[in-house]
């Protein structure tokens, strides 16, 4: 299992939302084919076929826990995690 598969599993499991690094979460979303647009401190991710947009802001070097939860809900709802989101 690779680095981003482990991160995806960590996001989906919800066991350590406060420990997810911001940069790694952004790369994970790009690997899930989200397109990133940056406006100031806001990193906005969209994907064709997904109604919700993801708006992330950095908290030090970590992602904000409530935003990790939002990412998890979108991944699970849209079954973007492959076998992991079942």
Please give the pLDDT value at position 4.
87
pLDDT, tens only, 67-77: 999 999 999 99
**Closest-CA residue to 75 (of 44, 16, 32, 37):** 32
High-pLDDT (> 70) share of the chain, %: 95
pTM comes to 0.90
Per-position pLDDT tens, the chain of length 86:
788 899 999 999 998 899 999 999 999 999 999 999 999 999 999 999 999 999 999 999 999 999 999 999 999 999 997 765 44
Q: 81 with 8: CB under 8 angstroms?
A: yes
Helices marked H in the chain: 3-13, 22-31, 65-77
Give the CB-side neighbour count of residue 19, counting CA atoms within 13 A: 7
């Amino acid at each position: 299992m690779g680095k981003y598969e482990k991160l995806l599993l960590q996001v989906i499991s919800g066991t350590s939302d406060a420990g997810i690094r911001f940069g790694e979460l952004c790369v994970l979303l790009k690997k899930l084919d989200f397109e990133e647009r940056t406006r100031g401190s806001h990193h906005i991710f969209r994907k064709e076929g997904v109604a919700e947009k993801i708006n992330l802001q950095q908290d030090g070097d970590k992602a904000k826990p409530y935003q990790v939860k939002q990412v998890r809900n979108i991944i699970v709802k849209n079954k973007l995690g492959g076998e992991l989101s079942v």
